[in-house]
Amino acid sequence: MIAGVGMGSRTDVATNVVLRDLDGSNVVWVELSGGQHHGSITSAGGSTISEAIDLAADLGIPVALVIDSSGSDVFEGLAALHAWGLIARSLTRASGVVPTIIGVTGACVSGPALLLGLADLVVMTETAFAFVTGPQAVTEFTGIQTDRHGLGGASIHDTSSGLAAIVVSGPVAVAGAIETLLSYLPSNSLSDPPVSDTHDPKDRLCDRAATSIPSAPTGGFDVRHVIEDVVDEHSFVEIRASYAPNVVTGFGRLDSRSVGIVANQPQNRAGTLDIEASRKAARFVSLCDAFNLPIVTLVDTPGFEPGKDLEWRGMIRHGAELAHAYCEATVPRICVIMRKSFGGAYIVMDSRGVGNDLCFAWPCAEIAVMGAAGAMQILRSDSTTKVDYEEDFLNPYRAAERGYVDAVIHPSETRIALCSGLSQLQMKRSLGRPRKHSNSPM
């Protein structure tokens, strides 16, 4: 235990702080569970956790916080509330300095549940649950009957809220998932991501990716088959797989180096961008940028999803989150346009305009303001025909002529191009303008 190292002499039966060695890297590992009141946060325990997180940030090592807690200790009242506020402040100060991962193995309720939203990544067991306001209060206030799993079970946070990055079977699997996630991240924001030799040749052709695209321009396909063939073998770990499935995010390796992957998913909602997909991708891009992971973006989207409800709920603002995340990112960024890339979605999916370092396109790529059908409605009084428009505009060569695409490559050579590009960009450094912080449209 390291509770007495730089953290005073406070102890709490529900709080355990240790320094763990995970595959050669140190991690401050904090467990909050058990005790007299089911892992409730006491003033002593909250202070211990807060100081452990502060120490991790000072030492430049990741934080893993595993929780099974009934919330703040009601017997201590405001002192316990103050304690979880200290944890929130420490997590916020550590944000972007060291990776922070929270695992939930049981309950995480009331105010302390908000701590989950402050972590970089959250891992939950299938039986875990988390909510700010409990089922009884919900029923009294709204008249709607629910239970703790229907309100905030792992399945809800896996599919609806997007809180859970990964859902696993049990507590042992939580530890394994945290270790896996940390294997892709550096210890802190000043370090490079770890290199793990995968023994997968960087000049390997990715023929499975090349044959994944259907001949019909509107045909769906699973972009994960492309990702898994392009990255190092067995290295892709998807994050928030069931939430906003029209975009895929995850970690992988290219030539043994950790990278972040963002990709449109054509088999779900045709790969369009909606509010949830935009926010999911933006959050992941920001995470990668904070910890120096190069970002590879695979594009196949006809645009933003239309809908009155989406516009009323803030499609403009939330769509801008994705543009903001990419524009702010200073890590190496490579974009591959596989098929469709139209309109505003073309811009926010890491186009040259928002600052990608390299952009490749497959020969079948269609890069334009809009598709042929929409263009014909606007140009119907013009002499331009649908065939003319497709031949003149729906190809990658116009974009290449203007410098918006660096090279048109055969799909099977995508891995080679990415590995070569990342090798060229590995020394990229960009500090940006001095400022307190940006004002994100979150």
Out of 34-48, 211-225, 317-331, 421-435, give the one with best mean pLDDT: 317-331
Mean pLDDT of 24-41: 81
Per-residue model confidence (pLDDT) at position 348: 97
Per-residue tokens: 297: 């973006």
Indicate whether 177 and 33 sit together in one domain: yes
**Residue 57 shares a structural domain with residue 131:** yes
The reply to whether 346 falls in a domain is yes
- 5 falls within a domain: no
8 A C-beta contact, residue 61 and residue 188:
yes
- Considering the domain architecture, whether residues 227 and 358 belong to the same structural domain is answered as yes
- Tell me the two tokens of residue 431: 């500090």
Structural domain total, the chain: 2
Residue 432 located in a structural domain: no
Pair 305, 236: CB distance under 8 Å: no
**Of 260, 220, 217, 219, whose CA–CA distance to 372 is shortest?**
217
Hey, what are 177's tokens? 């998932």
Top-confidence residue, 16 or 390 = 16
One domain for residues 172 and 212: no
| Mean of per-residue pLDDT scores for the chain | 90
Is residue 8 assigned to a domain? no
Same domain, 281 and 344: yes
Strand spans (E) along 33-99: 63-69
Query: pLDDT (tens digit, 9 = 90+) per residue, 36-46?
Result: 667 688 888 89
pLDDT at 10 over 90: no
Flag whether 58 is in a domain.
Answer: yes
Q: How much is the pLDDT for 387?
A: 72
pLDDT digits (tens, 9 = 90+) for 110-154: 888 999 999 999 999 999 999 999 999 999 999 999 999 999 999
Do 118 and 213 lie in a common domain?
A: no
Mean pLDDT of 429-437: 80
**CATH classification at residue 46:** 3.90.226.10
> Per-residue confidence at 219, pLDDT binned at 50, 70, 90?
confident
Do 75 and 115 have their domain in common?
Answer: yes
Taking only Cα atoms into account, the Rg of the chain, rounded to an integer number of angstroms, comes to 23
173-218 per-position pLDDT tens digit: 999 999 999 999 999 999 999 999 999 999 999 999 999 999 887 8
Q: State residue 8's pLDDT score.
A: 38
> Is the same domain home to 323 and 219?
yes
Domain carrying residue 90: 15-182
Answer yes or no: is 362 within a domain.
yes
Residue 284, pLDDT above cutoff 60? yes
Does residue 289 contact residue 295 with C-beta atoms inside 8 Å?
yes
Indicate whether 171 and 244 sit together in one domain.
no
* Angstrom distance (rounded) from CA 358 to CA 425: 9
Residue 238, number of CB atoms within 10 A of its CB? 18
Q: Are residues 157 and 270 in the same domain?
A: no
Look at residue 381 in the predicted model and tell me its pLDDT: 55
Q: What burial letters (b/e) apply to 44-71, b meaning 16+ CB within 10 Å?
A: bbbbbbbbbbbbbbeeebbbbbbbbbbb
Residue 385 reports pLDDT greater than 70? no
Q: In this structure, are 45 and 164 located in the same domain? A: yes
301: its two tokens: 């989207």
237 lies in the same domain as 125: no
Residue 371 pLDDT more than 70?
A: no
Identify the H or E element spanning 423: helix 414-425
Q: Are 101 and 62 in contact (CB under 8 A)?
A: yes
